[in-house]
Structure 1
C-alpha cells in the first residue's frame, strides 16, 4: 500500500486532478462523446456511471468500458476509472442482452423466494456478468425499508417492510457482489421507504420520521451492512423534517453525512451523493453551491448524470470553493484517500484494460439461465385462491373463452420489447413475436407475448385487450360477457389508481351471476408491487410476480396452468400475516342485562353513524329492545364487553336458541375499538354458551329474518301514495318517508299466497308482484336494480340468500303499465309489508282488509308494535354478515 501511495503523490499535488477524482459523471449516447472524453482527459474525472441509454449489448458495453479506461490511461490517470452501473434486476437493469445477460427477479422478488442463499447466488451471478464487460462498481444493494409501501415509488426495488429481513437479504446480496470482485454501494441513506410527497416537481420528498424511529427501522439495514463490510453508501436526495432535524437536502447536510452516517453509524467508506441534477436543487441552491455543500457535508463522490454544462458548472464550483477557502485542501484529500482505497480494492490497469467480455459470459450463461429460471419459479406468489380457480387447466374447458385485460405500460429497460423499439426493426434475435408496431397501441406489446403464451398453453380461445384511465368501456363489457374466466394484470395500482378502479369494477361485474347461475372467474395478477390488492379480500384469487420481464411472465404461465407449484410468499409483514395468526387480547365478556339498555342504544347509534357515507347502516332503526324477542319458544342469551368504570359498551353479541338450533344473531363492536379482539372474545363466548346447551344440533350465523328492501326509484313521481307506502321501508340515505317498517312472519312460504284483500289493494294502485326462487331468476334487471338502489352488502345478501332456492325467494314489484321495476325483496320464511302511520294515507290505513291475518295479534297497534321490534331486530343479521369476518379477528 505504501508503494501505491507513492505512485499517487503527483495527483495529490495537482488539485485539479485531485478534484476530478471526487466526481462521478455520465452522458447520453451509445458512443464516447467529445464531452465525456473531455471530462476524463481535461478535468481528471475519476468515475463514470453507465445507464441504459449508453448500452446496446454486452459486446458493445465491454468495448465502451475499455475505451473509457484507455482515455483515462492516455490522459495520465494513475489509477483506472470507477465504472458504475445500476443493475438491481427486476425492472431496474441498465444492461440487457438476451444472448449473454440473464434476467433475475427484483429485490422483493428474491425476498419472496425466502432464501438468502438464493439472494447471494443471484447477486453473484449479476456481478460476474457486469464485471465481464468492464463494470467494477454496482449501485446496490437497495437497503431501504418500505415502512409505507403502498404509496412509495421505490416499490419492488426494496426487499420489503421488515428491517431485519431487508438486512438479511441486503447483506447476502452485498456479499454476492463482493465475492465476484465488484465494489458495493448501498442506497438510499437514510431511507426512501417512507417519503411524503407534496406534489410539485420542485418539492423534495420529505422524511418525517424522528431519529429514534429511523434508528429502530430504516437505519437497521445500513447499520448491519456497514458492520458486514459495505464499501460505499449513496445518500438520498430528500428533505428531512422532524423534531430533531430540519434539512432541505440530505446529501448536502453535514448532520446527515458526517454526524449520522459517519459518527453515529461508524461508516468510514465512500459516500456518494444522489444525482445533483435535480430541479429542486437548481431552484433552491444552484449546482455550483450544491456541489460545494455536498463535499463539505462529507460526500466523497458527487454524482452528476447527464448535462455537460451542469457538470462543468459543478467542477468550477468546487474549484472556486477551494480557492476562496470554503473547501479546505485537507477536506479534498480526505475524500481522495477514500476513493483511491476503493479503487485499489476493485480494479487495476490490467483488469480495467482487459475485460473478459463475451468469452466469460458464454462460459456461465447456461448455469446463470438455470439460476434465473429457478429464482423466478421460487418467487411467484399466489397470495389467495379462495375459490380454487387454479390451475386453469382444471377449471376451464376448451370451449371456454379466457379474457386477458392488461394496462398500457412502457417496456422495462431490460426486455426484448425495449431492445426492439430502440432498434426500430427486427434483428437476428427473434423479436418478431413481441409486436407488430403498426397494429397495436404504444405499451400494448408488453403483454402481447404473455397472451400468446396463455393461448398456446391452454389450446383454447384467448381474448386480449388493454385498459386505460378511461375505465370500463363497451368493448370491455362485451368481452367480459363472452368470457368465462378473466385475468386482470395490474402494475402499482396503489399509485395508478385507475387500475384499482378498473379492477374493482370488473370484479363487481364478475360477481353477478350469469343466466346459467354461474359466476365468472376472476384472477388478478400484480406484476409489480404486491401491495396492490394484498389486503383486499374481495379479490379472491391474487397472484404476485414482482416484475413483468419475459422470464417472470413465462413462470406465471406455468403457475396458471399447474405446471409449476408456486413457492413464493409475500415479503416482510405480509409474510408474517399470512403465516402466523395474529395474537389476540382476551377481553372480559359479561352477560347483557337491563342496566345496559342505555349503553347499548348509545353503541348502536355510534355504529350506525360510522357507516360508509351513502350506504345505510345495517343497524339503522334498531334499539336495545330490537334484540329481545320475548318468545317463550326461543331462549335468549346476549353478551357484552363492558367498561365497568364508565358503563360504556365496547361490543355486543346476541344469541338465540330453539331446542335444536342455535343462532348468533348479531355481533358488532364500537368502531373506535375494532381490531382489538373484542369481536373475537364475544364470538368465542357466544359459541361456548350455545354449545353448552343440551340437545343443540347446529349453530347458525344471522337471524331467521334477513329482510332487505333496497329502495324505490325516485323517478316514479306519478305514484306518490305508493312511494309513501313502500318508502316506509327505506333507510335514511334513500328515504321518502320517515316511518319505520314492520315484518310479518309467514311460517310456510311455499304454500303462502297474498291475502285477497292485499291483492285488491295493490291492484287498485296498478301494482303487481310475484314470488320467484333461485339464482336463475336473478336476472340482469333484478341485479341492476339492487346494485343501483341498495348497498354492496344488500346485493351480496340477495345473492347468498337466493343460492338456497329451497328457502329463499324474491318478490319483484312493478307498475303494470311500465317495464321498470319498483323494488325487489328477499323472503326467507316471511314477507315484509310496509305500513304507514300517516293519517293522511287513508286508503291504506283505514281499510281493515289491507291488514294481513295474524292470528296471535288482536289489534293493529299491537301488530305494528310487535313486528316493528322484530323487523328492526332482523336488520342485525346484516351487521353480522358485514362485520363477522372483521369481528372474528
Structure 2
C-alpha cells in the first residue's frame, strides 16, 4: 500500500476509529430479560455438567462433510473421517458444527438443503449421550463473489457493491433477507460480513468482498449487516478476517501474507469495522492466517497468536463472543506446524472453534490429549465450550434446531425478496466514465454485440438488452481470450451499432488473464470506432488498463442481479446513483489516483 493511499485512508478513518474506540469498549450487556438470562445460564450450566471431555472437544470443531443428505454413505468422507455418512461424522466427533459448500454437494437446492440440515441435526440430537446439543450449520453467504447458495435463493451483488450504494439501510436489508432465507433452509450461521478494508487494489483474495477502502464506510455497513443477519434474519454472523486482510497482495489460501501496517495504521484502517461489529454484539469473529508484526512479531499467523487473539481481540477490544478460525486447510496457517499442533496452538492463542481441519482424527486427539496433560487448562476449555453453547442458546438453535420443510417456498426467493434485491442493486451500479455520452442508449432497433467475460454473464446481459428491443449477438471470450477469440469479436462489430464488453479482473494477469487477452480485447474493440461500453463485472480497477475507453460501468459483481441492474442503467431505465467505494489508481502507480473514492456520474 502506498504512503499516499495510507494517508488518505487514515484521514478518512480517524473519526470512525475514535468513535469505535469509545463504543468498542463494548456495548452494554445484554438487553435480555432476567428470565431469559436465567434460562440461558441454566441450560448452559446443566449441559456442561453432563458433558464428557470428548463431547466438549467436539463442540470446538466445525467441519465440512460430503453428501447431499445426512444418512447416505459418501466414500469421500472415508479418508477424512473413517466413516462414510455425514451423520456418522457428526456422531463420531460430537461435532459443534458443519459448514456447507457446493463442492461437498451440500447446497444443491432449498429442499435438499433443508433435508440435509434436519438430518444432521437429528444425528446430533439423537446420538448416545447425556446431552442433546444441536449443531451450528454454517456457510459463507457473503453474496457477490462468495456465494454458496445460488438461485432460487435471493442473490445480492456483494459488499463492495453495497459500499458503492452508500446505504446502511440497503446493507441491512440484504443481510436480513439473506439471513431469513438461510434460516428457512436450516442454516443458522453465516460467515459474513467481511470486515476487511481493501486498501490494496492488488489484493487477490478480498477485493470486492470488502465494503470499501475507507474504514468509516466499511464500519458503518459491517455494523448494519450484523444487525440484519442477527436481529432481523435470526442467524449468527461472523466478522472476518481479524485483525484485517485488506492490505495484502498474497492469498492466504496458498501462501502466508505479511501485513506491514504500523500499530497506528491498524488502529485507523483495519480495526474500525471490527469495533463496529463488536458494538453490534456480533456472535463470532473469524481469524486471518497472516502475520501482523506490529501486533505480534513472533512470525506466527494471527490465528495462532495469543497477543492478537487474547491480547488485542479479547483484552483491548473487549470481545466476549466466539472466535473461529478461518479454514485450517489453508496454506497460510499450515506452513509452520503440523495440522494437529495447529489445532492446539489456535486454542491456546484464544480461539474457540476450529474450522475445517484437514486432519480431524489427529487434531481431535491432540486437543483431547492437550487437555488431559494440562497443556490446555480445563477451565479454559470450559470457557470456550460455554461461549459456543451460549451462542447456540441465544441464537435460538437450542429451542428450534429444525427447519420446517413446508415453509421453505414461502421464504426463499419470494417475489418480495427478489424485488428488494433488484431495488438495492439498482442503487449500486456505478457509471465511472461517459465521455462520449454514449449512455444511456436507446436499444430498440439497435444491433448490439455483447462480448467478454462469462457464459452466464454475457447471456444475462444479452437477454436483458434483447427484452428492450435490441438485436443482440453474443460472443463469450472468458477470462483469458485467445487471439482468435479477440479477432472473432472484432470482426463481429462490423454491422453493430453498439458493443458492450464485460471484463473480470482484467487488471490481474497473474490470476485471471496471463495472456493479457482481456485488455487486448477491449483495446481492439475500441480501435474499431464503434460505440463501446465497458462493464467491469468484478473489481472496479480494470479501467486503469484501458484508459482510452470513453464509457465505463462498474457492477462489482457478475451475479445476474447485478448484470440485470447494469442493463437497466445502460438503457436508461434506471439513472446511476452509486459512487466508487475505493480509489482506482493509475496502472503500475498505486500512489496516483485515476478516479477517486466518491467519483460517480449520473444522467
Q: Same fold (TM over 0.5)?
A: yes
Q: Among residues 508, 511, 521, which one is paired with 1:495 in the alignment? A: 508
- Give, in angstroms, the shift of residue 455 of structure 1: 3.5
Residues of 2 paired with 1:268 and 1:24: CA distance?
Answer: 19
- Give, in angstroms, the shift of residue 42 of structure 1: 2.7
Is residue 111 of structure 1 aligned with residue 193 of structure 2? no
Is residue 228 of structure 1 aligned with residue 280 of structure 2? yes
Q: Indicate if the aligned counterparts of 2:259 and 2:290 stay in contact, CA closer than 8 A.
A: yes
Matching of residues 294-333 of structure 1 within 5 Å: 294-304=346-356, 307=358, 310-333=359-382
Is residue 54 of structure 1 aligned with residue 102 of structure 2? no
Which residue number corresponds to residue 14 of structure 2?
A: none
Matching of residues 578-727 of structure 1 within 5 Å: none
State the number of aligned residues.
Answer: 529
Which residue number corresponds to residue 182 of structure 1?
A: 235
Q: Among residues 312, 315, 337, which one is paired with 2:386 in the alignment? A: 337
Residues of 2 paired with 1:445 and 1:249: CA distance?
Answer: 38
Which residue number corresponds to residue 149 of structure 1?
A: 201
Residues of 1 paired with 2:57 and 2:298: CA distance?
Answer: 30
Q: Does the residue aligned with 1:67 lie in a helix, a strand or coil? A: helix
Alpha carbons of structure 1 residues 350 and 248: separation in structure 2 relative to 1, 3 Å: closer
Matching of residues 411-560 of structure 1 within 5 Å: 444-466=455-477, 468-471=480-483, 473-496=486-509, 498=513, 501-509=516-524, 512=527, 519-533=529-543, 537-560=547-570
Q: Indicate if the aligned counterparts of 1:530 and 1:544 stay in contact, CA closer than 8 A.
A: yes
1:772-822 per-position Cα deviation (integer Å, ceiling 9, x unaligned): xxxxxxxxxxxxxxxxxxxxxxxxxxxxxxxxxxxxxxxxxxxxxxxxxxx
Q: Highest Rg: 1 or 2? A: 1
Residues of 1 paired with 2:191 and 2:199: CA distance?
Answer: 22
Q: Among residues 57, 81, 88, which one is paired with 1:19 in the alignment? A: 57
In structure 2, runs of 5+ residues without a counterpart are 1-37, 74-83, 594-603
- Give, in angstroms, the shift of residue 461 of structure 1: 4.8
Alpha carbons of structure 1 residues 62 and 528: separation in structure 2 relative to 1, 3 Å: same
- Give, in angstroms, the shift of residue 285 of structure 1: 1.0
Q: Among residues 316, 337, 341, which one is paired with 1:285 in the alignment? A: 337
- Give, in angstroms, the shift of residue 379 of structure 1: 1.2
- Give, in angstroms, the shift of residue 151 of structure 1: 3.2
Which residue number corresponds to residue 6 of structure 2?
A: none
- Give, in angstroms, the shift of residue 470 of structure 1: 2.7
Q: Does the residue aligned with 1:402 lie in a helix, a strand or coil? A: strand
Q: Among residues 400, 409, 414, which one is paired with 1:351 in the alignment? A: 400
Q: Among residues 78, 98, 101, which one is paired with 2:132 in the alignment? A: 78
Q: Indicate if the aligned counterparts of 2:184 and 2:411 stay in contact, CA closer than 8 A.
A: no
Q: Indicate if the aligned counterparts of 1:383 and 1:534 stay in contact, CA closer than 8 A.
A: no
Q: Indicate if the aligned counterparts of 2:67 and 2:85 stay in contact, CA closer than 8 A.
A: no
Which residue number corresponds to residue 7 of structure 1?
A: 46
Alpha carbons of structure 1 residues 148 and 674: separation in structure 2 relative to 1, 3 Å: closer
Q: Which has the higher contact order (CA 8 A, sep 6+)?
A: 2
Q: Indicate if the aligned counterparts of 1:386 and 1:541 stay in contact, CA closer than 8 A.
A: yes
Q: Indicate if the aligned counterparts of 1:187 and 1:233 stay in contact, CA closer than 8 A.
A: yes
Which residue number corresponds to residue 44 of structure 1?
A: 94
Q: Does the residue aligned with 1:247 lie in a helix, a strand or coil? A: coil
Alpha carbons of structure 1 residues 151 and 483: separation in structure 2 relative to 1, 3 Å: farther
Q: Does the residue aligned with 1:533 lie in a helix, a strand or coil? A: helix
In structure 1, runs of 5+ residues without a counterpart are 410-443, 578-611, 613-670, 676-889
Which residue number corresponds to residue 742 of structure 1?
A: none
Q: Does the residue aligned with 2:98 lie in a helix, a strand or coil? A: strand
Matching of residues 231-246 of structure 1 within 5 Å: 231-241=283-293, 245-246=297-298
Q: Indicate if the aligned counterparts of 2:239 and 2:274 stay in contact, CA closer than 8 A.
A: yes
Q: Indicate if the aligned counterparts of 1:196 and 1:206 stay in contact, CA closer than 8 A.
A: no
- Give, in angstroms, the shift of residue 302 of structure 1: 0.6
- Give, in angstroms, the shift of residue 447 of structure 1: 2.4
Residues of 2 paired with 1:7 and 1:190: CA distance?
Answer: 35
Which residue number corresponds to residue 34 of structure 2?
A: none
Q: Among residues 251, 260, 269, which one is paired with 2:312 in the alignment? A: 260
Q: Among residues 388, 405, 409, which one is paired with 2:451 in the alignment? A: 405
Q: CA RMSD in A?
A: 2.8
Residues of 2 paired with 1:244 and 1:6: CA distance?
Answer: 35
- Give, in angstroms, the shift of residue 511 of structure 1: 5.4
Deviation larger for 205-214 or 288-297: 205-214
Alpha carbons of structure 1 residues 290 and 122: separation in structure 2 relative to 1, 3 Å: same
Alpha carbons of structure 1 residues 545 and 280: separation in structure 2 relative to 1, 3 Å: closer
Is residue 570 of structure 1 aligned with residue 580 of structure 2? yes
Residues of 2 paired with 1:200 and 1:338: CA distance?
Answer: 27
Residues of 1 paired with 2:400 and 2:254: CA distance?
Answer: 43
Residues of 1 paired with 2:354 and 2:203: CA distance?
Answer: 29
Residues of 2 paired with 1:48 and 1:531: CA distance?
Answer: 36
Q: Indicate if the aligned counterparts of 2:328 and 2:356 stay in contact, CA closer than 8 A.
A: yes
Alpha carbons of structure 1 residues 91 and 9: separation in structure 2 relative to 1, 3 Å: closer
1:715-768 per-position Cα deviation (integer Å, ceiling 9, x unaligned): xxxxxxxxxxxxxxxxxxxxxxxxxxxxxxxxxxxxxxxxxxxxxxxxxxxxxx
Which residue number corresponds to residue 8 of structure 2?
A: none
Q: Among residues 118, 121, 137, which one is paired with 2:173 in the alignment? A: 121
Q: Does the residue aligned with 1:108 lie in a helix, a strand or coil? A: helix
- Give, in angstroms, the shift of residue 126 of structure 1: 0.9
Alpha carbons of structure 1 residues 84 and 11: separation in structure 2 relative to 1, 3 Å: farther
Q: Indicate if the aligned counterparts of 2:44 and 2:389 stay in contact, CA closer than 8 A.
A: no
Q: Does the residue aligned with 1:223 lie in a helix, a strand or coil? A: helix
Alpha carbons of structure 1 residues 390 and 500: separation in structure 2 relative to 1, 3 Å: farther
- Give, in angstroms, the shift of residue 39 of structure 1: 3.3
- Give, in angstroms, the shift of residue 502 of structure 1: 4.0
Q: Does the residue aligned with 2:580 lie in a helix, a strand or coil? A: coil
1:604-659 per-position Cα deviation (integer Å, ceiling 9, x unaligned): xxxxxxxx9xxxxxxxxxxxxxxxxxxxxxxxxxxxxxxxxxxxxxxxxxxxxxxx
Which aligned segments of 4 or more residues in structure 1 are displaced greater than 6 angstroms? none
- TM-score, length of structure 2 as denominator length: 0.81
Alpha carbons of structure 1 residues 280 and 106: separation in structure 2 relative to 1, 3 Å: closer
Residues of 2 paired with 1:50 and 1:465: CA distance?
Answer: 31
Is residue 92 of structure 1 aligned with residue 121 of structure 2? no
